[in-house]
A and B are shown apart, each in its own frame.
Chain A
Amino acid sequence: MALRNASLSVNKGEILAIIGPSGAGKTTLLRLVNLLIQPTSGLILFNDVNTSGDDKHQRSLRRQMSLVLQYPALFDTTVFNNVALGLKIRGCPETVIKEKVDNMLAVVGLSGFEKRMVKTLSGGEAQRIALARALVTEPKLLLLDEPTSNLDPKNVSIIEDIVRAANTKSQVTVVLATHNLNQAKRLAQRVAFILDGEIVEEGASKEIFEQPKDERTATYVDGRMIY
Chain B
Amino acid sequence: MIYLGGWEEIGFGLFRALQLIFSGDPEVLRITLISLRVSGTATLLGAAIGIPVGASIALRRFPARTLLISVINTLMGLPPVVVGLFLYLMLSNFGPMGFLRLLYTPEAMVLAQLVLVAPITAGVTLSAVSNVDARLKEMAVSLGADPLQEVRIILREARLGLLTAVIVGFGSAISEVGAIMMVGGNLLGYTRALTTAIVLLTNQGAFTEAIALGIILLGLAFAINILLTYLQLRTKAGLFAAETERHHPVT
Please give, as numbers and ranges, the residues of chain B lying within 8 Å of A89 by CB-CB distance: 143-146, 149, 245, 248
Please give, as numbers and ranges, the residues of chain A lying within 8 Å of B237 by CB-CB distance: 77-78, 117
Give Cα A89–Cα B146 distance, bound, in whole angstroms.
8
Consensus secondary structure, chain A interface: mixed
Count, A-B residue pairs, CB within 8 A: 79
Nearest-neighbour CB distance to chain A for B69, whole angstroms, equals 25
**Contact assessment for B244 and A55 in the assembled complex, using a CB-CB cutoff below 8 Å:** no
**Contact assessment for B250 and A56 in the assembled complex, using a CB-CB cutoff below 8 Å:** yes
**Contact assessment for B244 and A88 in the assembled complex, using a CB-CB cutoff below 8 Å:** yes
Q: A159 in the interface, Cβ–Cβ < 8 Å?
A: no
Nearest-neighbour CB distance to chain A for B171, whole angstroms, equals 25
Give residues of chain B (208-251) contacting chain A, Cβ–Cβ below 8 Å: 236-241, 244-251
**Contact assessment for A73 and B146 in the assembled complex, using a CB-CB cutoff below 8 Å:** no
Q: State whether A75 and B157 are in contact (beta carbons under 8 Å apart), knowing that A36-B141, A117-B237 are contacts in the complex.
A: yes
Of all chain A residues, the one with the shortest Cβ separation from B159 is A76
Please give, as numbers and ranges, the residues of chain B lying within 8 Å of A169 by CB-CB distance: none
**Contact assessment for A36 and B138 in the assembled complex, using a CB-CB cutoff below 8 Å:** yes
Q: A62 in the interface, Cβ–Cβ < 8 Å?
A: yes
Out of A65, A71, A137, which one reaches B135, CB within 8 Å?
A: A71
Of all chain A residues, the one with the shortest Cβ separation from B160 is A76
Q: B59 in the interface, Cβ–Cβ < 8 Å?
A: no
Give Cα A75–Cα B133 distance, bound, in whole angstroms.
10
Give Cα A137–Cα B144 distance, bound, in whole angstroms.
10
Q: A167 in the interface, Cβ–Cβ < 8 Å?
A: no
Listed in ascending order, the chain B residues whose CB lies under 8 Å from chain A are: 133, 135-136, 138-139, 141-147, 149, 153, 156-157, 236-241, 244-251
27 contacts between A and B (CB under 8 A): A36-B138, A36-B142, A55-B147, A56-B250, A62-B142, A62-B144, A63-B250, A65-B142, A66-B142, A69-B135, A73-B136, A73-B138, A75-B139, A75-B153, A75-B156, A75-B239, A76-B236, A77-B238, A77-B239, A86-B144, A88-B245, A89-B144, A89-B149, A91-B246, A91-B249, A133-B143, A137-B143
